[in-house]
Amino acid sequence: MSVEVTNETQWNIEPKIFSDLGIWVLDQMRVSTQSDLTVLFYESQAIAELHERWMNLSGPTDVMSFPMDELRPGDGKTVVEGILGDIVICPEVARQQALAAGHTTMEEMLLLAIHGMLHLLGYDHTTSEQERQMFGLQRQLLLTFLAQLPVGTTQAWLEDGDSSATASPAGQGATRISGADGDVPKKDVEE
């Protein structure tokens, strides 16, 4: 499986954790190791332009998903392969949401990456039942992934040394994880 991570922001983000997350989540969802995924980090202005172009909505958003081969989770007997698509995450919006939710920016960006992957796999949250299922699954995936990480491996920060962006070591204190904001009608691009 190929998970390409590109950071086009001022944030120092370790790409390996997002690559590892992508491989792990897709394995959990029974997607083939021959599948490809791209995770991109964009500044607020760049994601706002994508948001306007693809969703007809103004302003920056937290995460956008661009599906390619419309892969779906495997059923345990078969494993699906192909190009999953691209996920674009805005660290600045993630930081604002993390502060409001009471967890770290890094935890929020990991949550948003999982949220984007689930959209690429056909999950949505347009109804309350879909939202319950999708947000429950993304929470379970995130908490399980964080629990297996070595202490101190989840950090991201701005060039100016903003400490509010760093994550607590896994296993220290309670982690409150909530769903991604916004219910947007399903189109070619998903938030």
More reliable by pLDDT, 86 or 152: 86
Instruction: Report residue 114's pLDDT band, with 50, 70 and 90 as the boundaries.
Output: very high
Long-range Cβ contact pairs of 144-152 (< 8 A, separation 24 or more): 144/28, 145/21, 145/24, 145/25, 145/110, 145/114, 146/107, 146/110, 146/170, 146/175, 147/171, 149/17
Lowest mean pLDDT among 21-35, 41-55, 88-102, 134-148: 21-35
